[in-house]
Amino acid sequence: EFWERLREWDIIILMETWLEERGWERIRGRLPIGFRWEAQHAKKKSKKGRAMGGMVMGIRVGIEIAVLRREKGEGVMERVVKMGVRDGGW
């Protein structure tokens, strides 16, 4: 049900994913189709323990990204999108 509910949104941001670079390819296949997915990988603070942080952002295909901006730092992902009237909505 979680994955089905994600499809209702136009822009999805998952935070504190603990997603390391090596796990990105595995999880990428499970994400809903119809979105452009990007990830900021979690990083380990020391050799032991779990990686911290990490974010995944999905923008529905068809929504124009006006300005593609790279991450400004750890924990920040920014995209500027152009949204308009769709199917009689606002």
Domain boundaries, the chain: 1-82
What residues are paired with 12 via a beta bridge? Answer: 58
pLDDT of the residue at 82: 80
Question: H-type helices in the chain, by residue range?
Answer: 2-6, 21-28
pLDDT of the residue at 83: 75
pLDDT tens string for the chain (90 positions)? 887 888 899 999 888 888 888 888 888 888 889 999 988 888 888 888 788 878 889 999 988 887 766 666 667 777 888 876 666 555
pLDDT of the residue at 36: 92
Distance CA 81, CA 1 (A): 27
pLDDT of the residue at 59: 92
Question: H-type helices in 37-81, by residue range?
Answer: none
pTM, to two decimals: 0.73
Q: 57: which residues sit within 8 A by CB, 6+ positions away?
A: 11, 12, 13, 14, 37, 38, 39, 77, 79
Question: H-type helices in 7-68, by residue range?
Answer: 21-28
